[in-house]
Amino acid sequence: MAVEATTLIIFGGTGDLARRKLLPALFQLGCKGRLPDNLRIVGFARQQRSDDGYRDLMGESVREFGSLAPHADEWTDFAKNLFYLPGDLDVPGDYANLQSRLKELEEGQEPANRLFYLSVAPRFFEAAIANLGSSGLAGEPGLGRIEHGWRRAVIEKPFGRDLDSARTLNDAVGRVFDESQVYRIDHYLGKETVQNLLVFRFSNTIFEPLWNRNYVDNIQITAAEEVSVEDRAGYYDNSGVVRDMVQNHLLQLLTMVAMEPPNAMDANSLRNHKIEVLRAIRRWEPADATQNTVLGQYKGYLEERGVASGSSTPTFAALRLYVDNWRWQGVPFYLRTGKSMAEKVTEIVIQFKRPPHMMFSVADADDLSPNSLALCLQPDEGVHLRFGVKIPDQGMIMDSKDMSFHYDSAFKDQDIPEAYERLLQDALEGDASLFIRSDHIEQAWRIVEHLLENQSGVSNPQPEQYDPGSWGPESSDRLLAENGHRWLGVCGLDQEAHA
């Protein structure tokens, strides 16, 4: 009987992502017994290396970035299935070499499945996909599972620089692969805490009846980084916060908070419901867009090495969005993200409406926070529910307190796995739920288009300056104040109270 084999080909197999994330994640999956039987991994890049040289390099990477030491025995078995082929993605003949090498490795183990992982700079995506098609490596176009085994492609982010380039890339991909074969990555979706958003929302009945415009006052999504652009200034200056964080990560979080409950966790149900949210996001006319967005740049950014002189690239963005549907009509969704901010934190805060009538006094009017539910994605993964309580021995005076759940104390002995573990496993198993469909990518670019115009200086030549270590420019606070709101700080606590 034929033995089915699977080959994972990593284009850019010696790069930073492969060394820091992909190989450590694959090794970890191997140690957990979650890789397919007969899996081979073939690294592909231009530098000359032997199979053994590649095994050594990856061994060092797993030691440095993963957890090799406790699994030294497993490494020997794992490394036997690592191979390397030098080649240039721009040279069509090198795809023919790859085809021959794969046939040699897979001999006697057909049907052989192949997963092509494009872990290379985005400028290679289009040509590499076209070459996979013309060389025959991708198999018959339009067939998810060809008679010789399935063919799939994982495409790293960023997928396009704007709507036009994303469309062009989608078209190029569509000429070679069927959509069901394509796995566009946003590694955020592989994070446990991001997936927990779905479990939290759709496995608990107590919150769902409140999860709408009747009870929710506003929703805040923050992804703040303490670090500056550091040694990525050259890349970052070309990209900026909107491409780096808003178009992908923040909009993903928004869709998960706002989506309707799907009937199943399959890729299409989930992705159909997410795109419904994106389609319902109100599109601003240019004049309104400026009223509803704030772009900032931290002081000192222009002095960073690699940043163009007088650059108008924003390092901070705050947005007020509305989801025009039955559930969310009129509820503002505030999104903010930036570099060089006061703290590293990613969280979603659902702020509920105030009681219609307040009978009790409060010790301090500033402490009268309305109920809020904070879903903390990092660094302190957990959930905080804030409610009013009576202060003991002080009449009927009330205060607001938190009820908290923390992953690290609730699941003490379990490590939270790296996002790439889950995503690689899913791609190998053919589950595209946590990957991004072509229509989602394009819709997300449409939503941020006006911000990209601003970025290139069309209507907002210079973003507002903010102090490193702060929560961004003052206009970001004004954006909320206009609606009588204010940013709630780390895990539901008031920002100032927290500081």
Ligand X SMILES: NC(=O)c1ccc[n+]([C@@H]2O[C@H](COP(=O)([O-])OP(=O)(O)OC[C@H]3O[C@@H](n4cnc5c(N)ncnc54)[C@H](OP(=O)(O)O)[C@@H]3O)[C@@H](O)[C@H]2O)c1
Report yes or no: 342 and 469 within 8 Å, Cβ to Cβ: yes
Q: Please, what is the minimum distance in Å from the beta carbon of residue 306 to ligand X?
A: 15
> Which of 187, 249, 440, 450 is the catalytic position?
249
Query: What is the C-alpha R_g of the chain?
Result: 24
Q: Please, what is the minimum distance in Å from the beta carbon of residue 61 to ligand X?
A: 11
Q: Please, what is the minimum distance in Å from the beta carbon of residue 17 to ligand X?
A: 3
Cβ proximity to ligand X: between 120 and 194 the closer is 120
* Residue 385 CB-density burial (10 A; 0-12 exposed, 13-18 middle, 19+ buried): middle
Distances in Å between the alpha carbon of 427 and those of 122, 180, 453? Answer: 20, 11, 35
Cβ proximity to ligand X: between 141 and 306 the closer is 306
Calpha distance 183→172 (Å, rounded):
14
Cβ proximity to ligand X: between 16 and 52 the closer is 16
The crossing angle, in degrees rounded to 10, of helices 438-455 and 251-258 is: 130
Task: Please give the residue ranges that form the binding site for ligand X (CB under 6 A).
Answer: 12-18, 20, 45-47, 88-90, 119-122, 156-157
Cβ proximity to ligand X: between 86 and 262 the closer is 86
Count other Cβ atoms within 10 Å, centred on residue 103: 11
Distances in Å between the alpha carbon of 316 and those of 35, 197, 443, 473? Answer: 40, 25, 22, 8
Q: Please, what is the minimum distance in Å from the beta carbon of residue 86 to ligand X?
A: 8
Q: Please, what is the minimum distance in Å from the beta carbon of residue 495 to ligand X?
A: 29
Asked if 498 is an active-site residue, the reply is no
* Cα-to-chain-centroid distance, residue 88: 29
Cβ proximity to ligand X: between 24 and 149 the closer is 24
Calpha distance 248→270 (Å, rounded):
16
Q: Please, what is the minimum distance in Å from the beta carbon of residue 108 to ligand X?
A: 29
Q: Please, what is the minimum distance in Å from the beta carbon of residue 232 to ligand X?
A: 10
Cβ proximity to ligand X: between 158 and 314 the closer is 158
Residue 66, token pair as written in the block = 């993963």
* Residue 209 CB-density burial (10 A; 0-12 exposed, 13-18 middle, 19+ buried): exposed
Q: Please, what is the minimum distance in Å from the beta carbon of residue 300 to ligand X?
A: 24
Report yes or no: 476 and 323 within 8 Å, Cβ to Cβ: no
Q: Specify the pairing of strand 293-298 against strand 464-466.
A: parallel
Calpha distance 251→236 (Å, rounded):
19
**Closest chain position to ligand X (CB):** 15
Count other Cβ atoms within 10 Å, centred on residue 204: 9
Calpha distance 359→350 (Å, rounded):
24
Residue 291, token pair as written in the block = 């009223």
Distances in Å between the alpha carbon of 310 and those of 210, 338, 467? Answer: 47, 19, 18
* Catalytic residue positions, numbered: 249
